[in-house]
Amino acid sequence: MRWLGPLRERYRRLSLRGRFALHVILLVVVLFTLLIPAVLLIQEQAILGTAREHGLRLVAIFAYSSVPSLVADDFLGLRQLVKSLGREPEIRYAMIQNLEGQVLIHTRLAETGAVYRDALTRLALSATGPSYQESRSPQGEILYDFVAPVLVLNQRRAIARIGISPADELQLIRRTRNRILGLGVFTLVAGLVWAHLQTGRLTRPIQALAGGARDIARGNLAHRIQLDRQDELGDLGDAFNRMAESLQVRFDMDRELSSTLNFHTVLTTLVRHAQSLCRADLAFLAYRERDASHAAVAACAGTMGSTIHDWRIQPGVGRAGWVLESGRILVPAQLPAAPDEDSEENQVLTEEGLVSLILAPIRLQQACVGVLGVGRRRAGTFDEGTEETLLRLADQAAVALANALAYREIELLNLGLEAKVAERTRELSDANVALEASHRKLQELDRLKSDFVSNVSHELRTPLTSIRMAVDNLLDGVAGQIPPTLQRYLNRVKNNTDRLVRLITDLLDLSRIEAGRIELHPAVISLGDLLQEVLEGLAETARSKGLELTLAHPAGPPILAFADRDRLQQVLINLAENAVKFTPAGGRVTVAARSVDSWPRESVDSSFPIHQPASSPIHPDGRWIEITVEDTGPGIPPDEQRMIFEKFHQVRRDGHGKVQGTGLGLAIAKSLIELHGGHIDVESEVGRGSRFRFTVPAASASAAAPTQLPGEAGIRP
């Protein structure tokens, strides 16, 4: 049944004229394919039934009439009998046969004496009463073979047979059918012509309505249709024109109302369009101000006198007062039982000559604040639907009044608000001036702080250097052999002196970075040598803790970087020392380097300003070196990972004391890497370790002599 879907879709796309014509065709086709063949079939069956009844009676008479001639062996009598039967046009043959099948007499004399042995004859010889058999003649027509026994003294002596064909009657039926079919074709053509004319007459107004609806949908509200009809389609056309006119008036009213919020202009627009939509001679709008005892006419259209402008409507007095008090619409057929007379209202009605009046309440926030009225000076009633139109206009008037009143209040508020804004602006301006002065002072204090830290650091490094040298001399035995106890104290002094030196160095680097005075001296360096040097410096510490310290890199040519060697070494030492410091015994620290084509750099988020001087390296070909320092330490919690690069920040761990250090190493490392144009980040999981990775610009192999990087360097405890 998949073909039903396309047929249904085609039917939906047919025009109204096409559908009407299709229905007429289907009706005629059903009529001629079902009803007429059924009638013809019934008629044919009736003719065949009549032929069978007639044949049975005729063969019985034939058998009875042949008895005397058959007993007397009167051939001429039999001959005369079958000859009389042969004159009938529907009788094809008549004969009498003995019980052996021999023909005693036949309408065709040549058949007399012949013996029939066919099946039809055998059935006929066995007949005991009048009966018939249906067969076909050599020409193909229906042939009934009627047979009846010839009884002599109630004994079968012979059989009488008559062959009857209803072909003539059937031929008449066929001619009748042909005539009916011709009449059907004529009726079908006439029906199509009639359907075409009628659908044209019906669809032209509908097409006009559809075209008008499309024009209105496109914004042409001035479109009107002309239908010279007095039937339902004419009424539909009039209703369409009224709707289009109403839409145009409403559109014009909405446009005018939205173009202004002036109170008087809004009310004037409302009454003018109320007069047009309700087809009234006069329209007015009365409004009651807040806390006022009466409503006054604020706008009117179509007036003839001046009394209406001074009309004051008291609640409950007169028709308009009744509407103002009750909040219900008043139409001429629904006047209140006995409203109190209002002399001013009567004077207005008399002066304006109004004979019909409709009043609608204007409700605002569940209260009636005004009355919208329309009136006519001529006899007759308003058009159907005027009350509903006036109520909708009254609701729209309520919204417009609310907007206009709100605008009026906003104007009053704006006057006070502008004064407050001006005063606040002056206060903010004074505050901005004070804030700028405070900012300048803070900048000066920050500069003084940086200068102080730099000067103090320089001053502290000199005596610390002297102390360290003296301790080294004592430990080397320059002053003679020292006891173990004193040697232990001197080692402690040396370690703490080294800590102070590193702290002072970090403070100096930080002050230079913040002041923008740090400069890089980039050159082509072999990372294999640099990484090996850094790890060798940490080998003793790692061995003492039982750590595995490994350098991993890909096979191939040496990895060359274009960077400041000292600063890059400072970053590597800081990261590797942290890894060795925080990794427990039996752990592993791995340092690796590899070349990458690109790096997903993020925006720099430093806690202090970074100044990159003109001498900073510029990456020549867009390639990078990625260096990773990975450990199996305790890991860093997720909420600490973004803060570890901030100044003075130290990771807090439950159950552990304060970690040694100033919290400046990672902040300085981040700044140095970003000065190289690279990026640093961390990946860590608590309990499994951390992985720091950063990038520096790569240098091409032709920039310097190649340095062989060991295939696998490892320093193990």
The answer to whether 281 and 375 are in contact (CB under 8 A) is yes
**Strand, helix or coil for residue 197:** helix
CB distance 547 to 642 below 8 Å: no
Q: In the chain, how long is the greatest CA-to-CA distance?
A: 188
Q: What is the pLDDT of residue 524?
A: 92
Q: What pTM was estimated for this model as a whole?
A: 0.39
Residue 12 DSSP code: H
Q: What is the DSSP letter of 365?
A: T
Vertex 13, ends 7 and 19: CA angle to 5°? 85
CA dist 525 and 541 (Å) reads 26
CATH architecture group of domain 46-165: 2-Layer Sandwich (3.30)
Distance, in Å, from the CA atom of 438 to the CA atom of 450, rounded to the nearest integer, reads 18
CB distance 391 to 358 below 8 Å: no
Residues of the chain with pLDDT under 70: 1-2, 14-17, 20, 32, 35, 188, 191, 198, 200-204, 207, 216, 218-223, 225-261, 332-340, 446-461, 498-499, 502-503, 506-511, 514-516, 554, 598-622, 652-662, 700-717
* Contact criterion met (CB below 8 Å) for 112 and 106: yes
The length of the chain in residues reads: 717
For domain 263-397, the CATH superfamily is GAF domain (3.30.450.40)
Task: Assign 3-class secondary structure to 22-40.
Answer: HHHHHHHHHHHHHHHHHHH
d(CA 414, CA 165): 113
Cα 406 to the center of its chain, rounded Å? 38
- Cα–Cα distance measured from residue 586 to residue 538, given in angstroms and rounded to the nearest whole number: 16
Find how far residue 197's CA is from the centre of its chain: 45
Non-local (6+) Cβ contacts of 528 within 8 A are 553, 558, 559, 593, 707, 708, 709, 710, 713
Q: Rounded distance, CA 169 to CA 181, Å?
A: 18
Query: How many Å is the Cα radius of gyration of the chain?
Result: 61
Contact predicate 700/560, CB 8 Å:
yes
Q: Which two tokens stand for residue 133?
A: 């058999």
Q: Which amino acid is at 88?
A: E
Query: Which tokens go with 5?
Result: 């879907």
Instruction: List residues bridging with 94 in a β-sheet.
Output: 162
Query: How much is the pLDDT for 242?
Result: 65
Please state, as a whole number, how many other Cβ atoms lie within 10 Å of the Cβ of residue 148. 26
Contact (Cβ atoms closer than 8 angstroms) between residue 647 and residue 551: no
CATH class label, 519-599+618-701: alpha beta
Pairing of β 548-552 and β 588-596: parallel
Long-range contacts of 375-384 (CB under 8 A, 24+ apart): 375/280, 375/281, 375/282, 375/283, 375/349, 376/280, 376/281, 376/282, 377/281, 377/282, 377/352, 377/353, 378/281, 379/355, 380/356, 381/332, 381/356, 382/278, 382/279, 382/280, 382/356, 382/358, 383/278, 383/279
DSSP assignment of 42-109 equals HHHHHHHHHHHHHHHHHHHHHHHHHHHHHHTT-HHHHHHHHHHHHTSTTEEEEEEEETTSBEEEESSG
Do the Cβ atoms of 374 and 280 come closer than 8 Å?
yes
How many CB atoms are closer than 10 A to CB 70?
23
Alpha helix (H) ranges present in 598-658? none
Tokens standing for residue 490: 């001197």
Token duo for residue 38: 């059924």
Per-residue three-class SS string for 569-608:
HHHHHHHHHHHHHHCCCCCEEEEEEEEECCCCCCCCCCCC
Comparing C-alpha atoms, which of 388, 399, 393 is closest to residue 285? 393
Return the pLDDT at 284: 93
295 within 8 A of 313, measured Cβ to Cβ: yes
| pLDDT for position 591 | 93
